[in-house]
Structure 1
């Protein structure tokens, strides 16, 4: 169905000039991203100091550094990293990454809490999460109308504050918290995420000249998807670590220990979201740079 829709409605543009494919850049970014994700995902299982974890992590970091250097020197790069010289794109991408971390914090922790602590079925878990998803869907077009009137700053600032408040409240849940409270807090966090998503994407893309818009979009998607996977891996390891810590401290009730571990990870997510608050004020700046001179 997707292929049919693309073929039917997306216009075909023939490039005026042929460009060589950056094979070396493609291979280095794929391998580095894969190694980093694998090392983070399995770090708690293999041991963070094990040769397997450290070797994959080290190779991933080295290849990522090579990719960045190569892309800056290559005449036809896979990703044009010079778009980071657009200040507003840079600020928006950082905020976008923080919002992505906040979104996947809830995506991981809330279902985990509902199914392992409250012992709810996957169906019940989905129904509890449904209001938040509906809020994001309904809010998107409304936020788009407000964006044209008031710009990104007020929307993103409000969204970040809501995310901070919702995450902080989640860091205080107990093993007997009401499912209605969980659904309400998740709805609040989803509203905050919805207030940020579209404005941040628009603010980033509007700051980039049209010739670099494709690269800017690719970099944004790569950063968000990679960070989503990394954050899930890191937070999963943190939950295991903190739960084991509380069990070692004498908390014999596994659901209570798990809840305390989830609270700690939500607090980490809250701190990360707080970091984004002062960064939102940078969205007021609209300066552009001439990359032809860079």
Structure 2
């Protein structure tokens, strides 16, 4: 009797409904890499003022430590699907981890802001491949009928990263130095490299299609230029400036040319033919709207807690923790339900919970009750656990073995792009609303600068903080509208066990 390739590779039967030790070991390796990659995106946010002081530079230049990392991610993600098919997922995962750990070590040794930005790009080359590769490895290891539960495991660092990053970054900078926000990745990365080498199944890459050079020349710079333009909007304060419009429009043109090319070629760099899969199409539409709302709104509460309530970065991170706790509770349950009955119903329940939680934040005040705020965050977290990874599962669950690498690459591109759009959108809306309130800006400044506080009467500070809180609440209305719109594509997600799964089980039975 011949075993299917996945059984030979992992020692686990992908048709089994149980998650065994072999699958959990693979998941552990992937989660280690995901934690490093995602935490490193958020941990640097609290270090920007330190970079300004340490290297004597402006905030705009220091922000390139984040922008450079993001653009490196955007450049390599389109290549990941082809490279995984060509070289094998294990070899590529080891290479990605090596780039990430090397970049981390170099960042800790940076002697000026220019070298730090350059080393962050090296780090981003590795970080950009870790998530799509991790999703591919876990989908292959689990098989379609268990991928929902495994995606729930991978979803924990995705949801906790925005919460844990600022807490960890603030603690490391205050207790040690800024170098340690990068140095901490070296021992963790070394463990991840050893574990990946020992645990991940050996590669047996199939003969790959020819590399789509034209697609690479269109897709990677197109995506990077578009994201650069979008990420510049908060700094510029408007989208109608050459600094934003020129790179964004060039990026859109290049991406448009890539779409035209991809639909006409047999083996494109990003496989747009996957949109023939109805479940993947609605999953992408759901992910676009959800990621814009989720990642965009993600920056609002930490800013509210620090700027309006006067909390430190560390306390702001701790106060957001109930959202992560809610997600951790609901994710395993959602994963089991998705494997048994499809993701459709679970995602709709999650969106209802997120909607209920978000309604409270549209009514923020300068002295909003912390117990109610934390309770609303917990409800939102329960909804997040039922939404993000089940949507990813909906996209990947019906793909065959050969399509999984391309599908996970596509979903990560969508996630990255939508997240950048959401962050820029909410930043511009919030900045505009605060500028329209005459006392909001000075009142926020008074929270951090004793000289400003001394010049403003206490009554003016209170009124200004009320105006600022109202601006945050109105910005949450935009997020709420986007979440409500997400119900439309989510309604069409599969609500039954996918047909592709039944075929996979039948194949294993024949063997």
Q: Answer yes or no: same fold by TM over 0.5.
A: yes
**Quick check: 1:128 aligned with 2:299?**
no
Could you say what secondary structure the match of 1:42 adopts? helix
Could you say what secondary structure the match of 2:367 adopts? coil
1:153 paired residue number: 344
Aligned runs of 1:1-294 on 2, under 5 Å?
1-46=191-236, 47-247=238-438, 253-284=463-494
Distance 2:400 2:340 in 1: 22
Task: After superposing the two structures, state which structure 1 stretch, 27-36 or 259-268, moved more.
Answer: 27-36
Could you say what secondary structure the match of 2:310 adopts? coil
Distance 2:262 2:464 in 1: 49
Structure of larger gyration radius: 2
For residues 87-143 of structure 1, the C-alpha deviation after alignment (integer angstroms, 9 at most, x for no partner) is: 111111211222323321342111011011001112211221112212212322222
Distance 1:186 1:97 in 2: 22
Q: How high is the TM-score relative to the length of structure 1?
A: 0.89
**Which runs of no fewer than 5 residues in structure 1 stay unpaired?**
290-294
RCO higher in structure (CA 8 A, sep ≥6): 1
Distance 2:325 2:423 in 1: 23
Contact residue 293 and residue 483 of structure 2 kept, 8 A: yes
Distance 1:29 1:288 in 2: 32
Distance 1:39 1:146 in 2: 40
Distance 2:394 2:347 in 1: 10
Distance 2:310 2:233 in 1: 27
Distance 1:122 1:44 in 2: 20
Q: C-alpha displacement at 1:244, in angstroms?
A: 1.0
For residues 237-265 of structure 1, the C-alpha deviation after alignment (integer angstroms, 9 at most, x for no partner) is: 11111111233999964423322221122
Could you say what secondary structure the match of 2:267 adopts? coil
For residues 54-111 of structure 1, the C-alpha deviation after alignment (integer angstroms, 9 at most, x for no partner) is: 2122111101111212222233321111001111111112112223233213421110
Could you say what secondary structure the match of 2:387 adopts? helix
| Count of matched residue positions in the alignment of Structure 1 and Structure 2 | 289
Could you say what secondary structure the match of 1:246 adopts? coil
| Structure 1 residues 141 and 220, CA gap change in structure 2 (3 angstroms) | same
Distance 1:256 1:34 in 2: 39
| Structure 1 residues 224 and 163, CA gap change in structure 2 (3 angstroms) | same
Q: How high is the TM-score relative to the length of structure 2?
A: 0.53
Contact residue 322 and residue 378 of structure 2 kept, 8 A: yes
In angstroms, what is the RMSD of aligned CA positions?
Answer: 2.5
Contact residue 83 and residue 89 of structure 1 kept, 8 A: yes
